[in-house]
Homo-oligomer: A and B are copies of this chain.
Amino acid sequence: MPGEFEYIAWLRAQTPADPRVLIGPGDDCAALAPPARALLVTTDMLMDGTDFVLAEVGPRRVGRKAMAANLSDIAAMAGTPTAAVVSVALPRGGRELAQELYHGLRDVADAVGVALVGGDTNSWDGKLVISVTALGEAGPRGPVRRNGAKPGDFLFVTGPLGGSILGHHLDFTPRVREALALHAAVELRAMCDISDGLTADLNHICEESKCGAVLVAEAIPVSDAARELSRTSGKTALDHALGDGEDFELVFAVSPADGTKLLAAPPVPGLVKIGECVREGLWLETNGARQKLEPRGWVHPV
């Protein structure tokens, strides 16, 4: 693939036919069959040295993370991801790097039936930058937003939290299937994916829903990585579970009746009730005593 045109020829040869893709890579735009319901769109950019260290993790895991982080946002609205485009700034001489990156993107996209329909391949003197835009379709109940939680709602997460920096932030599976199965079973009133950290992302739900939340310390599912990290970090494993970013599990609110239903017959494995919504404030309850919880976790730089 000495020129972009050759790269596109290669990309085309690698791309399986998908009836939703009317025009694939190679023209000025890709063309997709119009979705039946609301079109979801999200974009995420990852930079070497910030979101990963290329020299340590290799391009394939970078490709996986870039695709998975975007699909996680589609999952957060209980949508079905359909297609993605990718733009990259490659360090010079990055031909093999580009192919490995592409294979990583495909590893994750193929697992949930997402078509890679186009992109923009550049090279430069800087470090690797990759930007993915994912498209999806809302479910029959519409997109799940952050603003529908109510006091009394049960709060759940889809899996263990904390310490993702040890590897999970590169190798996670976006909770696409889980979100669809959950939304088929009950009405998800508010949801987001845990990218900034549980407390920070839950705070987004509370701000948008104009309510508060109490987390039960004993109920928070703490990952093995959080425990491992706590041995050297000077923080507790619970601190890591509450504050670390990039777990990419889902946190969501459902009515008490639906919550009871989920507890009785969980439609997906790994589901844990971590607390409830209240009128105001963000609280951590330990042995029955409540203390105020400051939203922590990743603070966006700009």
Mask, A47-71, CB within 8 Å of B = 1, is 1011000000000000000000000
**A301 touches which one: B118, B123, B133 (CB < 8 A)?**
B123
Q: Does A85 sit within 8 A of B, measured CB to CB? A: yes
| Interfacial chain B residues near A39, Cβ < 8 Å | 31-35, 39, 135
Known contacts A3-B299, A79-B29, A145-B27; decide if A34 and B43 are in contact (CB<8 Å).
no
Contact for A43 among B4, B35, B131, B192, CB less than 8 A: B131
CB <8 Å contact, B146 and A27: yes
User: In whole angstroms, what is the CA distance A215 to B208 when docked?
Assistant: 59
A86 within 8 A of B: yes
A149 at interface (Cβ–Cβ under 8 A)?
no
When C-beta atoms are compared, the residue in chain B nearest to A79 turns out to be B29
Contacts of A33 in B (CB 8 A): 38-39
Given known contacts A87-B44, A119-B43, A302 and B27 CB-to-CB distance under 8 angstroms: no
Q: Which residues of B contact A125 (CB under 8 A)?
A: 49
**CB of A95, distance to nearest CB on chain B (Å):** 6
| CB atoms of A34 and B37 under 8 A apart | yes
Contact B300–A121 (Cβ < 8 Å): yes
| B contact residues around A86 at 8 Å (CB) | 43
The reply to whether the CB of A88 lies closer than 8 angstroms to some CB of chain B is yes
Which of A's residues lie within 8 Å of B, judged by CB?
1-5, 7, 22-23, 26-45, 47, 49-50, 73-74, 76-77, 79, 83, 85-90, 92, 94-95, 98, 117-127, 129, 131, 133, 135-138, 143, 145-146, 192-193, 204, 208, 299-302
